A and B are shown apart, each in its own frame.
Chain A
Amino acid sequence: MIIKKFIAITGIIHCEAGLRIGGTKEGIVEPGGSENTIIRHPITLLPYILGSSIKGKMRSLLESDASSGAQILDDGKPCKCGRCLVCKVFGSHGMSNKEITRILVRDCSITPESESVLRTAQEERGINFAEIKSENIINRKTGTAADKGLRTQERVPAGTEFNMNITIKLFKDDDEDNILKIVNKGIDLLQKDYLGSSGSRGYGKIKINNLEIREIN
């Protein structure tokens, strides 16, 4: 296989709702803080969006889309056919019919503007680059908040922006149009769905602004 070219897709991810991407096992728990922390860069402690969260979500949305030709397996695991466009672009799981992954989704760093807004909020209100959201678990029988039902979760506040950075590598015999089409579709579906957790409760709605697709040479 011979590489034909690289294509860069960049954009700004704008969080229209609070975004929650779970933190590390060793996540820093501040005294009195939330036990469910978001992921933070280990050194700068700034929140970011994992490349794997975006890639995984895009892939699962595309697989559920009837036109992709991907197979939804009974165990709910990713398609491993190795022939459909999803496998071709996103790489295939399982042992046979493997494809080289064409897409590279980098971790999305917070934009300098959002970092400065959240830094100010930290100084003024003491929030640690995230809001803490409390939720009650309602007891289905009594309709009241269950005992110990209160839980707290960290979210990146709505309005926060991150830099999205995707690279596609295309080999000589690749169908460039279709590959770009499916990646675009994935980006589109992502904006109709949600990122991170608790999407059914309104978390993780995003919009991608300044979307730009260009060849790298």
Chain B
Amino acid sequence: MKTFRLKIRPHSSFLTPWQADTIFGSLCWILAWREGTDALTKFLQEYKNGNPAFVLSDGFPCDLFPTPLHISLRKSKGDNIEEYKRTKELKKVSWLSPEVFESVRRGAIEIGATDAYKAIKTYTTLHSSINRITGTTGDEGSLFELEEFAIESRELKADTLSIYIKIKDGWEERVESLFKDLSLIGYGKKRSVGKGSFEIVGALEPYNKFDNFGEANGFVTISNFVPAKDDPTDGFYKTMVKYGKLGGEYTFNGNPFKKPIIMLTVGSIFYVKGDNKPFYGRMVEGVSPAKPEVVHYGYAFSVPIKIDI
């Protein structure tokens, strides 16, 4: 597998965070719509077998990276107020510049509060639907709020998101064309009204900054994931509950919801004995009572790291 970076430029705010499993689900629907459900079944079987065609990271604003958890979870030394404040500040922070991320990857555990960015703005918008009889909006019950996300482009002086992809040889073009179709369809909730609308900037570019190095003794995941049976267990992690939904035609089968899935979050780190693998995690089966064939993507995009604590 080789690592690539794909840059995209959102045309609007988005309602669905750019998380690897959700991106993967969207690409699966495109594959089914382009090549038929048999092709999708075959494609997913390889994922179930532990032989994925490609592994995705979340989408990250510009060139930033998520803060590895051992940095943001570091305990303050208690009696030192300055240190306490700094730790508190760091806990809120989730994004590091490529340089700082690299130094953390090489074992640094001290970072300054100014090394981290606030990169995504969250805000609420109010919407309403038109009453077909009166032709007006604003009926009782017709108003609803949406939580939207946008890149803090002013502070970052950039307006793109980067998605990292480890691709099996020979799959590069197919991956590109899946993303191209996704850009025509839009990503996530409310895409028919332009939310999650984006364009691809440039092409897939080879990316070699996640390379392994001699002192690496673990990995940091840059996608949420579900550990496989033999995955390492010693490390620092946080969990989240993913309330997944079925997409495409399956939205309409009466029960569009997947069972809640516990995932380890982006930034979780684990000690690894021996060589780092290019990915960890697994596909989760049996997530939809209505559609037994449905699986949930739970692979970790792993990046080698030296954990020096």
Residues of A within 8 A of B (CB): 1-3, 6, 22, 24-26, 39, 41-44, 50-52, 55-57, 60, 63-64, 72-74, 76-79, 90-91, 95, 98, 100-101, 103-107, 109, 165, 167, 169, 171, 197, 216
- Residues of chain B within 8 A of A216, CB atoms compared: 184
Point out which of B35, B127, B145, B251 has the most chain A C-beta atoms below 10 A from its C-beta.
B127
Contact between chains at A105 and B192 (CB < 8 Å): yes
Given A43-B153, A104-B197, A169-B184, CB of A56 within 8 Å of CB of B132: no
**Which residue of chain A lies nearest to B197 when distances are taken between CB atoms in the complex?**
A106
Given A43-B121, A43-B150, A104-B186, CB of A60 within 8 Å of CB of B132: yes
Contact between chains at B132 and A25 (CB < 8 Å): no
Contact between chains at B124 and A24 (CB < 8 Å): yes
Chain B contributes a number of interface residues (CB within 8 A of A) equal to 46
Question: Given A2-B35, A43-B121, A107-B11, 19 other A-B contacts at CB below 8 A?
Answer: A3-B33, A6-B184, A22-B126, A24-B123, A26-B123, A42-B148, A51-B193, A52-B194, A57-B130, A72-B132, A76-B132, A76-B133, A77-B129, A77-B132, A78-B129, A78-B132, A104-B185, A104-B186, A104-B191
**Interchain CA distance A43-B123 in the complex, whole Å:** 11
- Residues of chain B within 8 A of A78, CB atoms compared: 129, 132
**Interchain CA distance A76-B133 in the complex, whole Å:** 5
Q: Give the Cβ gap from A188 to chain B, nearest Cβ, in Å.
A: 17
Q: Give the Cβ gap from B37 to chain A, nearest Cβ, in Å.
A: 9
Q: Give the Cβ gap from A108 to chain B, nearest Cβ, in Å.
A: 8
**Interchain CA distance A71-B197 in the complex, whole Å:** 30
Q: Give the Cβ gap from B39 to chain A, nearest Cβ, in Å.
A: 10
- Label chain A's interface by main secondary structure: loop
A-B residue pairs in contact (CB < 8 Å), sample of 7: A24-B123, A25-B124, A51-B193, A51-B197, A77-B132, A104-B194, A197-B137
**Interchain CA distance A105-B185 in the complex, whole Å:** 10
Contact between chains at A26 and B194 (CB < 8 Å): no
- Residues of chain B within 8 A of A22, CB atoms compared: 126
**Interchain CA distance A3-B34 in the complex, whole Å:** 6
Is B36 part of the contact surface with A, judged by Cβ < 8 Å?
A: yes
Is B131 part of the contact surface with A, judged by Cβ < 8 Å?
A: yes
Point out which of A24, A26, A63, A103 has the most chain B C-beta atoms below 10 A from its C-beta.
A24
The 4 closest A-B pairs by CB, nearest first: A51-B194, A76-B131, A98-B252, A106-B194
Contact between chains at B123 and A42 (CB < 8 Å): yes
Point out which of B126, B154, B194, B195 has the most chain A C-beta atoms below 10 A from its C-beta.
B194
Given A51-B194, A107-B11, CB of A169 within 8 Å of CB of B185: yes
**Interchain CA distance A72-B123 in the complex, whole Å:** 34
Contact between chains at B132 and A106 (CB < 8 Å): no
Q: Give the Cβ gap from B42 to chain A, nearest Cβ, in Å.
A: 16
Contact between chains at A107 and B132 (CB < 8 Å): no
Given A105-B192, A106-B194, CB of A51 within 8 Å of CB of B12: yes
Residues of B within 8 A of A (CB): 11-13, 30, 33-36, 121, 123-127, 129-135, 137, 139, 145, 148, 150-154, 181, 184-186, 190-195, 197, 248-249, 251-252, 254
Q: Give the Cβ gap from A104 to chain B, nearest Cβ, in Å.
A: 5
- Residues of chain B within 8 A of A55, CB atoms compared: 192-193
Point out which of B134, B145, B192, B197 has the most chain A C-beta atoms below 10 A from its C-beta.
B192
Contact between chains at B132 and A64 (CB < 8 Å): yes
Q: Give the Cβ gap from A14 to chain B, nearest Cβ, in Å.
A: 20
**Interchain CA distance A95-B125 in the complex, whole Å:** 25
- Residues of chain B within 8 A of A100, CB atoms compared: 248-249
Contact between chains at A42 and B254 (CB < 8 Å): no
Point out which of A73, A77, A103 has the most chain B C-beta atoms below 10 A from its C-beta.
A77
- The answer, among B33, B126, B132, B191, for a CB contact under 8 Å with A1, is B33
Point out which of B34, B121, B184, B185 has the most chain A C-beta atoms below 10 A from its C-beta.
B184
**Interchain CA distance A73-B130 in the complex, whole Å:** 12
Q: Give the Cβ gap from B190 to chain A, nearest Cβ, in Å.
A: 7
**Interchain CA distance A26-B192 in the complex, whole Å:** 24
Q: Give the Cβ gap from A50 to chain B, nearest Cβ, in Å.
A: 7
Q: Give the Cβ gap from A27 to chain B, nearest Cβ, in Å.
A: 9
Given A1-B33, A42-B121, A43-B153, CB of A107 within 8 Å of CB of B252: no
- Residues of chain A within 8 A of B123, CB atoms compared: 24, 26, 42
Q: Give the Cβ gap from A191 to chain B, nearest Cβ, in Å.
A: 16
**Interchain CA distance A171-B251 in the complex, whole Å:** 17
Q: Give the Cβ gap from B69 to chain A, nearest Cβ, in Å.
A: 29
Contact between chains at B125 and A24 (CB < 8 Å): yes
**Interchain CA distance A6-B33 in the complex, whole Å:** 12
